[in-house]
Amino acid sequence: MDGCNRAYPHILFVHKSVLSLDVNRRDDYEIHGTKVFGLRWADTNMNVTYDRCMRAKYDTYGLDFNIWKENAMWERDREKEDSLFDMLGCGEGEYNLVNSIFGSQSQLRIPIEVSNGVRNVNMRTIPGYSLFDWQKVLENAKEIHSVSTSLIYILECLELSQPIHLYCRKPLEYNFDTVIYILKSHDYILHL
């Protein structure tokens, strides 16, 4: 939660266990005077296929999905970014940023082989750093290679000029149907 709270200081993020929420409840309800929205179930509740799971969160409330980027940009923590950049040795020459992990706890992985003569810096969970702290590493990479995961939303918000390679989340998916409508800001190179 620390990374989200630093990135969006005007929103308070708390772990679901603090609120004793029923995360499997699919309807909207009230608890202690606060409205709870089960956005996790938006595609099911809207009766749409999983490939529209992100759009369904907006469709549930009659919002235009195309506006998602208007308020998505986070506040950068330059000290954390610099610290991570230095710890990974990114200032020591060219590198590819490689992200082969996905899943709510980064528990899933696909093999991504990059052999262009440049060393690979692999994304991973590092205590004390959040996904947002990787921005400087992303901006300075020669190439970006990533499995199709939440990192896409970060990439979409950044002004990047290097090649961005996306890989399917096999064996869960064999195409990009669940994210293709999100990919607008860059000329992605898609790997099935």
* pLDDT tens-digit series, residues 142-156: 999 999 998 999 999
Residue 171 preceded by cis peptide, ω within 30: yes
Residue written as token pair 């919002």: 63
In terms of average pLDDT, the best of 35-39, 110-114, 179-183 is 110-114
| 9-23, 54-68, 103-117: the lowest-pLDDT one | 9-23
Confidence of residue 18 (pLDDT cuts 50, 70, 90): confident
Backbone φ, ψ for residue 44 (5° rounding): -65, -50
Residue 143 DSSP SS3: strand
Q: What is the pTM of this model?
A: 0.86
Residues 164 and 156 sit within 8 Å (Cβ to Cβ)? no
CA 180-181-183 angle, to 5 degrees, is 65
